[in-house]
């Protein structure tokens, strides 16, 4: 039987944590007298914690010491984790379990490929950790998306060639990372934003089991 590697981004694909990142970054930005809008939050999708703070500081024309930078990063994460601690299964995005369970039952490779250093914790909270054979997160990579590193490590962990892997991503940088890895890219979100993806769906409710079966046979 054909087996493929299916690699999922976390934030915005499996769970909607962007709203918690927004609340935590906004509180932090406002505490140093910097404005922070939902539009700016959009630009932080798929962007690492360090790079996100650098962007916020540059938007607010702020320069701070290395020690202050580290303190702000820790503060943001503590605040973010206070939301994560309250998460449960109800926050899994619609039809994600349906697709994951189908892939698991048909013995396909399933991995996580996320920039988040909190990925394991979040998967545990929403009770999906056992659906994944491999987890590659912000602790395992040195190069950020659109670099393909995170997905290439995922493919290796699943023992699959990159060309036999399929990536689900909600960010432009993530779709580019999948394309750079020579994998099939499936955008989850807006077609006009994710125009570089091989396929785009609004969310998993639009993805049929037949479509997944086609990908497996390819």
Which residues of this chain interact with Mg ion, rule CB under 5 A?
9, 11-12, 170-171
- Residue (96 or 216) nearer to Mg ion, CB: 96
In the bound state with ligand G6P, the residue whose beta carbon lies nearer, of 118 and 160, is: 118
5-8 and 165-169 strand pairing:
parallel
Name the minimum Å distance from CB 210 to Mg ion: 26
How far apart are the C-alpha atoms of 66 and 45, rounded to whole Å? 24
What residues pair up with 113 in beta bridges, in sequence order? 136
Q: Residue 192: exposed, middle, or buried by beta-carbon count in 10 A (0-12, 13-18, 19+)?
A: exposed
Give residue number: closest CB to Mg ion. 12
Side-chain-facing half-sphere of 39: CA atoms under 13 Å: 2
* Residues within the interface to ligand G6P (CB under 6 A): 11, 21, 44-49, 52, 77, 115-118, 138
**Residues 18, 11: contact at Cβ < 8 Å?**
yes
| Tally of helices (H runs) and strands (E runs) in the chain | 9, 6
| Residue 44, binding choice from Mg ion, ligand G6P, none, Cβ under 5 to 8 Å by partner class | ligand G6P
Residue 132 beta carbon to ligand G6P: minimum distance, rounded to whole angstroms: 16
Pick the closer one to Mg ion by CB: 11 or 149: 11
In the complex, the smallest distance separating the C-beta of residue 116 from Mg ion, rounded to whole angstroms, is: 8
Q: For the chain, how far is it from start to end, CA to CA, in angstroms?
A: 12
117 interacts with, out of ligand G6P, Mg ion, none, CB within 5 to 8 A per kind: ligand G6P
Nearer to ligand G6P, 108 or 137 (CB): 137
- 149 makes contact, choosing from ligand G6P, Mg ion, none, with CB < 5 to 8 Å by partner type, with none
Mark whether 11 is an active-site residue.
Answer: yes
CB 7 within 8 A of CB 113: yes
Annotated active-site positions, please?
A: 9, 11
């Amino acid at each position: 039987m054909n087996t493929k590697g299916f690699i999922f981004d976390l934030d915005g694909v499996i769970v909607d944590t962007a709203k918690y990142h927004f609340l935590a970054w906004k509180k932090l930005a406002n505490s140093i007298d910097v404005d922070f809008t939902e539009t700016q939050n959009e630009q932080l999708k798929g962007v690492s914690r360090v790079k996100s703070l650098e962007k916020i500081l540059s938007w607010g024309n702020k320069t701070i010491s290395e020690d202050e930078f580290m303190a702000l990063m820790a503060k943001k994460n503590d605040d973010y984790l206070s939301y994560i601690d309250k998460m449960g299964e109800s926050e899994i995005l619609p039809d994600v379990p349906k697709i994951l369970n189908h892939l698991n039952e048909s013995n396909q490779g399933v991995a996580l490929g996320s920039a988040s250093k909190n990925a394991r914790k979040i998967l545990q909270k929403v009770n999906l950790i056992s659906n994944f054979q491999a987890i590659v997160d912000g602790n395992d990579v040195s190069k950020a998306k659109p670099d393909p590193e995170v997905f290439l490590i995922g493919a290796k962990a699943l023992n699959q060639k990159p060309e036999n892997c399929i990536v689900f991503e909600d960010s432009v940088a993530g779709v580019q990372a999948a394309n750079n890895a020579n994998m099939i890219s499936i955008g989850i979100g807006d077609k006009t934003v994710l125009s570089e993806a091989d396929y785009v769906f609004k969310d998993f409710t639009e993805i049929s089991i037949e479509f997944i079966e086609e990908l497996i046979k390819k």
